[in-house]
Structure 1
Amino acid sequence: MLLCEDNEIYRIGLRVLIELEPDLVVVGEVVDVASACSLADLVDPHIVVIRQGLLPHMQEESVSALCSRDRAVLILAETESKLDLAGALRAGARGYLSRWVAAPRLVDGIRALAKDELVLDPAFARHLLQFLTTGPTGAAEIPAQLSALNPLTDRQRTVALLVAEGMTNGEIAARLSVSDATVKSHITAVLRRLGVRSRTQLAIFVNNDTARQS
């Protein structure tokens, strides 16, 4: 994992928190985006954690570069007023959490990213709607005939809603008292029934459907 954070105290805290976990390793630390891109090419981390403030105006080209080689980028947002979730998703980021997120949630989010899951702070879920009208990777990729969650069973609908809230497979499993494998199976079935290709598109669709009904 590569950390991109210019506040030394916060960066050290992140590293200590992450390295307390036996399955997580920090392979590098940098203080700016340019250094992150250069070091990422050298150490090829699976995950890059970066403070949003280091991405002025959401430099999509920088995020895209960090996402190359199938790397997962987790952006830590400082204030909701500065969010650009649409830009982050368009650039390829798969994680978007508050910089002040609780430590267990951050660790769980990092593990979920390692499993190629979408990690999104529930407080930011409404910003997914922006993504529907911000370019070719937005609404155009979601089949027009999808207008409701009716094709889903009750349990599949529940899982879809929890995915849209930004919960990881592990969190959903704990909420529903089922195994991670069962959650993964439900998500696979939901994607197939709705005709969407990823958790990101599923979350976008569910939030859009909820907004239409409200």
Structure 2
Amino acid sequence: MTKTLFASPAWPTVPVEGEDAVYPVHRVFCVGRNYAAHAAEMGVEVDREAPFYFTKSALTILPTGETYPYPPGTENFHYEMEFVVAIGKPAFRVPVDQALDAVYGYATGLDMTRRDLQLAARAKQRPWDLGKDVEGSAVIASLTKAAAFGPVGDQRIQLTVDGELRQDARLSDLIWSVAELVSDLSKYYHLAPGDLIYTGTPAGVGAVVPGDVIRGTIDGLAPVELTVGQPE
């Protein structure tokens, strides 16, 4: 076996409802501006010609229920509640009408964002990495298998901070459907088991501070929770 120069972390994993085995995460794709109301609150127009994406390292995955320190380099740390898709079969250049065959399951997730850094980068037409690819920022609850969840329709997606409702929408508000996203991404990547797609956030995003407790729910899925800790 090849020796490594230092200890290398294992792939992060996500529990699966009703299973002893866990789902290893290899890649995290995120969809930008997939709810019209959120695009409007961010002062941008929806690109209806095609979805667009950014990525996070798999090592940003954080299990639900954790307390995570307020990240460095920001004074405007935002929550974004998201519906997460887990790929279960290889998919490359799949048509929309076959794309759901590649889906293993779904989960609730949080795309935590250093908003001030994201907006500064956007203003200079630079990549969003400092704002988005943040340690511990891809929070996720346990997966529910696609068959158990059923068709994606008008399930309610909500987020509260310290019990106060901040985001409230329906999955039917998604501009690009799950099938359309999987099909489109498969034009550019060989999608495979271990790939997650965070499908975008509804309107109502906002800042949190140390001590805040974030809780997100989607009908039919396990909730996701995060407590914002003190900065290190």
Which TM-score band (shorter chain)?
under 0.3
Higher helix proportion (structure 1 or 2): 1
Q: Which has the higher contact order (CA 8 A, sep 6+)?
A: 2
The normalised TM-score by structure 2 is 0.22
Higher relative strand content: 2
